[in-house]
Amino acid sequence: MKNKYATGTLLLVIAFFVLASCERTGGLVEDNIDVLGTFGQITLVGIPQEKIDELVGGIEQDLQALDDIGYTFEQQGELARLNDALANGRSMAVSDDMLELIKSAIELFGLSGGLFNPAAGELTAFWEFVCDRDTCSESSYPDAVQRLVDKQIAKIISRKPSIDDLIISGNKISSRNRQVRLEFGDMIRGLALDKSVEHLKRVGIDNAMINIGGSARTIGTRGDHDWWIGIPDASGEHNIGSIENIDDQAVVTVRAFDKSTGKQGVVYRHIIDPRTGQPVRDVVSVTVMHDSALIANASAVTLHIAGIDNWKKVADSMDAQKIMLITEDGTLYASPAMADVIHWKQGVEFQYLVP
């Protein structure tokens, strides 16, 4: 079954509106968008009415390009075609945007010590199912099929698909390992935030916030006061605190979305440990603050996999010092640098992350 976060071609509907109380050239402009399989919002400050259409077109073009190259699994999409070529031992010429995405993934793979591995998409595919929590069993497969799945997962792991298996020659991509299947997942959303902010800066926008799926990046201020971003709990439905005084920073939250909960309490999640082929268990939500949303996203995914015991090595390697983790038992952990910038809601308790 297809991943519900990667189904269909992106329908990006930009419907800008100016709040009634805003001035023509100095007000607040907000936009609700449907982007990369999730919701989003863009907030701009001090934008002349005559510039809105130009901004809409530019941002729409940037985000549409990202969806086309790396998010959907439609057969006509560039990612699907590239994965087909790699699986069959062929090379393929890719777009400049796809090449940039792959090079970024290779760098992040190295920084993460191999835990952030977009080449292990075949492992993720085994867990992309949805069933009703009242009717599904603890496994999505009958026992006989589950044994076959476990065997196939072991086979994939033994072949060690890695982003380092890719061979880049100009714009042509090939692979030393036919088990490589690229899936960029949350990384795309981080890149989308960064590219959108870069676009706004190029056209002279100094004050803006872009939010995609609960992760945000800001520049400047929100009129006469600073931007603030809410910090969600593990469910994503309630805020447990907020971060203020943000300028040109990203605050990214990645949650291990439950795909199903079996009758025996077994939970399957969309973040897979490439070392085992199994969904992550201990950490259910990670928030990272960084000046790059791309690095924040990749760090958050990697911290899910590394877990509470190995967070420090990942944080140092990926230069992610402002982090918050929520474990499966509901415990909140924050690094000292993150705890200093979060305004916690009354009654919220947390523990400091320790090396």
Interval 222-239: pLDDT, tens: 888 889 899 988 888 889
- CATH node for 226-355: 3.10.520.10
47 Cβ partners below 8 Å, 6+ apart?
25, 27, 29, 55, 205
Distance (Å, whole) CA 187 – CA 106 = 12
Q: CA nearest 138: which of 10, 268, 251, 252?
A: 268
Q: Is the dihedral of CA 86, 152, 119, 158 positive or negative?
A: negative
Write down the CATH superfamily of domain 88-175: ApbE-like superfamily (1.10.3980.10)
Q: How many CB atoms lie within 10 A of CB 331?
A: 12
Q: Which of 72-76, 142-146, 262-266, 297-301 comes out lowest in average pLDDT?
A: 262-266
Angle subtended by helix axes 96-111 and 78-87, to nearest 10: 70
Q: What is the pTM of this model?
A: 0.81
344 Cβ partners below 8 Å, 6+ apart?
240, 241, 350
3-state SS string for 133-169: CCCCCCCCCCHHHHHHHHHHHHHHHHHCCCHHHEEEE
Q: CA nearest 166: which of 96, 83, 273?
A: 83
Task: Locate the domains of the chain by residue range.
Answer: 1-71+184-215, 88-175, 226-355
Distance (Å, whole) CA 56 – CA 14 = 7
Position 283 pLDDT exceeds 50: yes
Task: Please report which confidence band the pLDDT of residue 50 belongs to, taking 50, 70 and 90 as the band edges.
Answer: confident
Position 93 pLDDT exceeds 90: yes
Contact predicate 59/16, CB 8 Å? no
- In the chain, % of residues over pLDDT 70: 75
Distance (Å, whole) CA 258 – CA 329 = 15
Position 77 pLDDT exceeds 50: yes
Q: Residue 263's pLDDT is what? A: 40
Q: Residue 72's pLDDT is what? A: 56
* Mean pLDDT calculated for residue range 323-351: 94
Q: Residue 24's pLDDT is what? A: 31
Task: Please report which confidence band the pLDDT of residue 130 belongs to, taking 50, 70 and 90 as the band edges.
Answer: very low
